[in-house]
Amino acid sequence: MEQQVKNLIAVSLLAPIAAQSAMAAKKPKNTDPTRPNVIIILADDLGYGDLGCYGAKNVQTPNVDRLAQQGIRFTDTHAVAATSTPSRYSILTGEYAWRRPDTDIAAGNAGMIIKPGQYTMADMFKSCGYRTCAIGKWHLGLGETQGTQDWNAQIPMNLGDIGFDHHYIMAATADRVPCVFINDGTVANYDPSSPIEVSYKENFPGEPTGKDNPELCYNLQSSVGHNQSIVNGIGRIGYMRGGGKALWKDENIADSITTHAIDFIKENKDRPFFMYFATNDVHVPRFPHQRFRDKSGMGLRGDAIVQFDWSVGQIMETLDKLGIADNTIILLSSDNGPVVDDGYKDRAEELLNGHKPAGPWRGNKYSAFEGGTQVPAIVRWPKAIKGGQTSNALTSQIDWMASLGSIIGARVPQGGAPDSHNYAATLTGANTTDRPYVIELAYNHVLSVRTNEWKYIEPSDGPKLLDWAPKTETGSDPQPQLYNIKKSQWESESVAAQHPQIVYDMQNILRHEREKSEKHSFFVPGV
């Protein structure tokens, strides 16, 4: 095992060099209609077991299932983190979020975490002549610094500064204020008669809250937290005043972002485009449109999965109608594992009826166990990928940037996407090469190492259960944990004491990765 780990480390060192060399060998043209369009569809809190093609029985997902039938379904793909902000940061930068001190779950008024000048996936596509956009949930901050945004004017630091030609986004999550869409740096449908104020410190005088006025939460009652400002009859995190006609209605969020996605595709059908389409489904508050209600038999969470499937179907249908589906890569996944009860009384747990959101894996969102980062992943590219495939290769979302860059012939500058390796051949089904190891980040900052056989969780003194979600395991333990994944997907019995050398080797991998942060500048000046 010791030699194996040394080999893994050697491969990890050589991979970025090889990837950059391969990319540099191809000189990109400004525009090339033969290059594939690329759409990343990133669900929110969608679990490994939440889709029909991954074994779900209680909820129907025909559109996602068709996507899998026409492409590759991956069974061992990992988000970088078990929570949203660090996971999304890693996808869009090719850098492990844990190398930065400011990538925890972001407040709704957080300043931009990805700073102008930092190389992004959008920059990469734009350098090859692609039209780029981000639509849906953002959760990576806006503006220069936290709490300084003027939501009534153009936000001076926005997605246009990090490579996106267009954006129509939610600043953070649906359960956090401000509850408005941002369209190219300004509030969409801005209502000058109702100026917007946002605070994460104190309420505004005279404004009701979910805590003091629960009777006003007529759409959803909170179970834990989520009891500050009330918007659309739902309590939120944070305080907000104003908004007027700009305030979203939760039941229309999927319709709104899907419509904007379709419009972007239509506008750019004759040139290569990259779209980062991040849904709110199935994040809380789950409040899908009425036409999806009672479609799953599992209440609002199940109905939100049906709504997500509809959004996917609308995008697929648009590509078909425009005749561009054949040369469009769709990469569908989730930002982290699932969570059932996450702060609202939506009966998600009571109505599971045997449904297992994390599939065979132990743990959920937030957790160091596999359920926190093991996510569904589907890739379709009819022009180049044979449909109906299943890949058991060990893969990580951190590699999407280098892999997609290789496919489009991008030249990544030195220092760009520092943790992203080129596994384009695995992503497109040319082979089933495993990543040597993946690194996973839990909510409590605990790191794990996963190979195709072993899972190591570093020791932590934190609580074993979350305070606000007592049924959610953190994975924390004061002793090192080691699991043989091939024998126990459920991570039921640690075998660290029986395999001290493997524990040491896994610790060595983490030490090596952490030393990279000390030896190289991963931090953006001014962060």
- Cβ neighbour number for residue 483 with a 10 Å cutoff: 25
| Residue 160 DSSP class | G
Contact in structure between 490 and 360 (CB atoms under 8 Å): yes
Nearest-angstrom CA–CA distance, 346 and 340 = 9
From 26-40, 59-73, 130-144, 161-175, the region with the lowest mean pLDDT: 26-40
Hey, which CATH number is domain 36-190+249-431, 3.40.1350.10, 2.40.50.140, 3.10.20.30, 3.40.720.10?
A: 3.40.720.10
DSSP-H helix ranges across 235-289: 253-267
pLDDT at 5 over 70: no
> What is the DSSP annotation of 395-412?
EEGGGHHHHHHHHHT--P
For position 3, what pLDDT does the model report? 55
Q: What percentage of residues in the chain have a pLDDT greater than 90?
A: 90
Q: Which residue has the higher pLDDT, 23 or 333?
A: 333
> In the prediction, which pLDDT does 519 show?
67
pLDDT at 520: 62
Give per-residue pLDDT as tens, 278-326.
999 999 999 999 999 999 999 999 999 999 999 999 999 999 999 999 9
Q: Is residue 27 predicted with pLDDT exceeding 50?
A: no
Q: What is the mean pLDDT of residues 194-215?
A: 97
| Lowest mean per-residue pLDDT among 12-26, 36-50, 463-477 | 12-26
In this structure, are strands 37-43 and 273-278 parallel, antiparallel, or unpaired?
Answer: parallel
pTM score > 0.85 for this model? Answer: yes
pLDDT > 70 fraction of the chain, expressed in percent and rounded: 92
Whether 175 has a pLDDT exceeding 50, the answer reads yes
pLDDT beyond 90 at 524: no
The pLDDT value recorded for residue 16 is: 43
DSSP-derived secondary structure for 186-242: EETT--TTS--EEESS-PPTT--BTTT-GGG--SB-BSSS--SBEETTEE-BSEEE-
Residue 214 has pLDDT above 60, yes or no: yes
Per-residue buried b or exposed e for 295-331, using 16+ beta carbons within 10 Å of the residue's own CB:
bbebbbbbbbbbbbbbbbbbbbebbeeeebbebbbbb
* CA separation, residue 208 to residues 107, 109, 211, 437 (Å): 20, 20, 8, 49
Structure tokens at 255: 């319709």
CB 72 within 8 A of CB 389: yes
> Per residue in 63-78, pLDDT tens?
999 999 999 999 999 9
pLDDT band at 30 (very low <50, low <70, confident <90, very high): very low
Tell me the mean pLDDT in the region 398-406. Answer: 98
Rounded Cα distance between 427 and 394, Å, is 11
Mean pLDDT of the chain: 93
Quick check: 182 pLDDT over 50?
yes
Q: Which amino acid, residue 256?
A: S
Q: Answer with the residue of higher pLDDT: 95 or 524.
A: 95
Q: pLDDT band at 34, cuts 50/70/90?
A: confident
358 closest CA partner among 493, 494, 490: 490
Q: Residue 139 above 50 pLDDT?
A: yes
Please, which pLDDT band fits residue 523 given cuts at 50, 70 and 90?
very low
* Amino acid (1-letter code) at residue 36: P
- Residue 20's pLDDT is 40
Q: Which of 7-11, 65-69, 353-357, 447-451 has the lowest mean pLDDT?
A: 7-11
Mean pLDDT of 244-268: 98
Location of structure tokens 């930065």: 100
Q: Which residues are bridge partners to 197 per DSSP?
A: 241
Give residue-wise pLDDT tens across range 143-155. Answer: 999 999 999 999 9
pLDDT at 9: 52
97-111: pLDDT as tens digits: 999 999 999 999 999
What stretch of H or E contains 39? strand 37-43
Residues 81, 96: contact at Cβ < 8 Å? Answer: no
Tokens for 406?
Answer: 């290789």
- Reported as a single tens digit per residue, the pLDDT across 498-522 is 999 999 999 999 999 999 987 665 5
The alpha-carbon radius of gyration of the chain (Å, integer) is 22
d(CA 401, CA 88): 12
CA distance 6 to 4: 5
Domain with CATH 3.40.720.10 in the chain: 36-190+249-431
242: pLDDT strictly greater than 80: yes
Angstrom distance (rounded) from CA 213 to CA 228:
10
Q: In what helix (H) or strand (E) does residue 123 lie, and over which residues does it extend?
A: helix 121-127
pLDDT given at position 468: 80
Average pLDDT over residues 387-391: 98
Q: Which helix (H) or strand (E) holds 307?
A: helix 299-322
The rounded distance, in Å, linking the Cα atoms of 366 and 371 is 9
Residue 18: is its pLDDT beyond 60? no
Decide if 86 contacts 98 (C-beta within 8 A).
yes
Q: Which of 228, 225, 222 is nearest to 209 (CA)?
A: 228
